[in-house]
Amino acid sequence: MSATCHPSDELLVAYGAGSLDEAASLLVATHLALCPRCRAEVGRIEAMGGAVIETLPPSDLGADALASVLARLDQLPGAPMPRSPVVAAPGLPSPLRDYLPASLEALPWKRLAAGIEQAILLQARGIRARLLRIGAGIVVPEHGHGGMELTMVLQGGFTDSGTGYARGDVAMADQQVVHSPAADGGETCLCLAVTHGPLKLTGLVGRLVNPFLDL
Amino acid sequence: MPDKRLAVEPGPGAERFSDLLSAVAQYGDRQAFALLFQYYAPRLKTYMRKLGAEDAVAEELAQEAMLAVWRKAASFDPGRANAGTWIFAIARNLRIDMLRKEKRPEIDFDDPELVPDPAPRADEVMATQQSESRVRAAMSGLSAEQTEVVTLSFYEDTPHAEIAARLKIPLGTVKSRLRLAMKRIRSELGDDQP
Ligand SMILES: [Zn+2]
Ligand SMILES: [Zn+2]
């Protein structure tokens, strides 16, 4: 089954143009592996990028630019492209596998709250990509956001403000959103989440536990 | 190597760039590569300068991008993208790698975990849909305002807040123009997907 909740046009354009940060790009690329619709969309965006480049006025190059590049063609190593290991966890597509050890259990999982664990995959300039494991039926403590939050389901599903999210679906939240998503019953929900800025727990319980959480 | 393919004379808008790139991939055709270089390298340099690289860096990146074109030519699939699209993606990724020092997460079309297209299209259909002339025609149907935000999207290293600031319009306006532009492009180039 294909995804029904997609990243916004702005995110797809930023990914196609190459202006999106690495963590959000990881989430978008992982979504693309699971979503033919957005794959076609990014294909069109890249085609626009090609057209934009072709309509640019040419800049002058150094007089020997072509000669020096031609001279270097012979010296190029014919290194094969490294392949990502197909071991990791079955069901996880390749852009994500590149960021994972051979087994999900080898990740540095940390308990966030009862039934919720996270493993940080990437962090830079306040932007984080992490895997979240939320036990079946567990409700995530109510929280707000210091910036954009993107969450993609890899396994299982969750419900947020009345909308259900299944494998491949992307949920987007921003500074205006306060929410408390809940994992569906039946199986553990595995998500890839990207946050731009820290989360802020809001409820009474949240205020009590906030200092202990690494959100 | 003596070669009939060398009669190809590219010019702006020529679909034949894809044939040149295929000749590089299949035969290591240096003359084909030189023709691609002469057309694309000066434009890639402009692209890098638009993204803020100074002259010498922009030239180096343009040359490195063309070297990557040579090295990766075997992975060029004319059924998936035209030459300009593929070369753009190479240059984009090279800049992310060399200037931003970040990895570029990309899908692997051979990944067994990839969810396949619902109705796999023949290569020729895809090639026609994404052909240079069709993309240009679709883009020429955009309004001036839509063209502006689309074009600027390729020249900014941060998402769309910068464009809003530069054009002195609200971020919401940038987003809605972009959405309208993509909707239009979808209907021109697109398929039956929602
Ligand atoms: Zn999608
Ligand atoms: Zn949230």
ipTM of the complex as predicted: 0.89
Instruction: Please report the pLDDT score of residue A82 as a whole number.
Output: 55
Whether residue B174 sits in one domain with residue B127:
no
Whether residue B133 sits in one domain with residue B73:
yes
Residue B30 sits in a domain of what CATH number?
Answer: 1.10.1740.10
By Cβ distance, the residue of B62, B82, B160 closest to A10 is B160
pLDDT at B136 over 60: yes
Q: Could you list the residue range(s) of the whole structural domain that residue B148 is in?
A: 143-194
Whether residue B30 lies inside any domain: the answer is: yes
Whether residue B79 lies inside any domain: the answer is: yes
Query: Are B85 and A57 in contact (CB < 8 Å)?
Result: no
pLDDT 10s digits, A58-113: 999 999 999 999 999 977 665 555 555 555 567 899 999 999 998 899 999 999 88
pLDDT at A36 over 90: yes
Whether residue B57 lies inside any domain: the answer is: yes
Question: Which pLDDT band holds residue B165 (cuts at 50, 70, 90)?
Answer: confident
Calculate how close chain B gets to A215, using CA atoms only, in Å. 23
Number of structural domains (chain B) is: 2
Whether residue B90 sits in one domain with residue B12:
yes
Instruction: Please report the pLDDT score of residue A103 as a whole number.
Output: 87
Q: What is the mean pLDDT of chain A?
A: 88
Whether residue B88 lies inside any domain: the answer is: yes
Q: Which ligand is nearest to the CA of A30?
A: 1
pLDDT 10s digits, B75-132: 998 888 889 999 999 999 999 999 989 999 999 988 999 998 887 665 555 555 567 7
Whether residue B189 lies inside any domain: the answer is: yes
Instruction: Say how many CB pairs under 8 Å bridge A and B.
Output: 214
Instruction: Please report the pLDDT score of residue B13 as a whole number.
Output: 47
Whether residue B130 sits in one domain with residue B79:
yes
CA quadruple A136, A137, A141, A146: dihedral sign: positive
Cα separation, A192 vs A200, whole angstroms: 19
Query: Are A50 and B80 in contact (CB < 8 Å)?
Result: no
Give the pair of three-digit tokens for residue A152.
């993609």
What is the mean predicted confidence (pLDDT) over B37-56?
96
pLDDT at A150 over 80: yes
CB contact set of B163 (below 8 Å; sequence gap of 6+): B149, B152, B153, B156, B174
What is the mean predicted confidence (pLDDT) over A25-53?
95
Cα separation, A94 vs A85, whole angstroms: 8
Whether residue B136 sits in one domain with residue B147:
no
Report helix, strand and coil shares of chain A as percent, to nearest 5. Answer: 30, 25, 40
Whether residue B98 sits in one domain with residue B14:
yes
pLDDT at A190 over 50: yes
CATH superfamily of A102-212: Jelly Rolls (2.60.120.10)
By Cβ distance, the residue of B34, B46, B85 closest to A70 is B34
Range from A71-85, A117-131, B66-80, B142-156 carrying the lowest mean pLDDT: A71-85
Whether residue B65 sits in one domain with residue B158:
no
Whether residue B80 lies inside any domain: the answer is: yes
Q: What is the mean pLDDT of chain B?
A: 85
Query: Are B182 and A41 in contact (CB < 8 Å)?
Result: yes
A33 CB within 8 Å of a chain B CB? yes
Give the pair of three-digit tokens for residue A135.
């036990």
Whether residue B133 sits in one domain with residue B159:
no
Distance in Å, CA A6 to ligand 1 centroid = 4
